[in-house]
Amino acid sequence: MADVAGRSRPGATAFWSRDFSDEEQTVVYVPEISTEGNVRSRRKLMSPKADVKLKTSRATDASISMESLKGAGDSVDEQNSCRGEIKSASLNNLYLENKRCIANLIKELARVNKEKEVTEERLKVEQESFEIGRLEEQNELTSKEREADAGEFASLQEAEAVVS
């Protein structure tokens, strides 16, 4: 069940073996490297990016399985424990480039949120100044009407005094 890949040094061989728990995926063993964190699946080495499809529904986005998000550095035990189970997505399971992309998106979101707050504050100040200007205009019109009414009242009183 093992294929010898070749010898770079005497006694050093790399080989693939099939795990009976998963017939689709072979595991690569490389001697002189700790098998604890360096056992990688063959399929993951060929395509390091996770399969991500564009979706329009948020409900379907939440249902991404851990299989598509597992990193290439997962040990065999971790991979087998995740097989058949659907767990919630975690940043620990993503590739470094995806983590950087998410970090950049979070920074961009924070920047846009800050710009939004600044714009909302400016809009609030502009609305207040516009409202103040409108109220001052209305106050000026009211005072002119009051002066006109007072002048008309005075002329009516004079006319009444002349008539009496």
Residue 30 C-beta-side C-alpha neighbours within 13 Å = 10
Task: Tell me the C-alpha distance between 19 and 149, whole Å.
Answer: 100
Which pLDDT value is given to residue 93? Answer: 82
Residue 161 has pLDDT above 90, yes or no: no
CA–centroid distance for 35 within its chain: 35
| Residue 39 and residue 29 in contact, taking contact as beta carbons nearer than 8 Å | yes
Residue by residue, DSSP assigns 111-140 as HHHHHHHHHHHHHHHHHHHHHHHHHHHHHH
pLDDT for residue 118 is more than 80: yes
Instruction: Kindly report the pTM of this predicted structure.
Output: 0.36
Domain-wise residue ranges, the chain: 3-89, 95-164
3-state secondary structure of 146: helix
pLDDT tens, residue by residue, 56-112? 444 444 444 444 545 545 555 555 555 555 667 777 888 889 999 999 999 999 999
pLDDT given at position 84:
52
Q: Taking a C-beta distance cutoff of 8 angstroms, is the pair 51, 43 a contact?
A: no
**pLDDT score, position 9:** 52
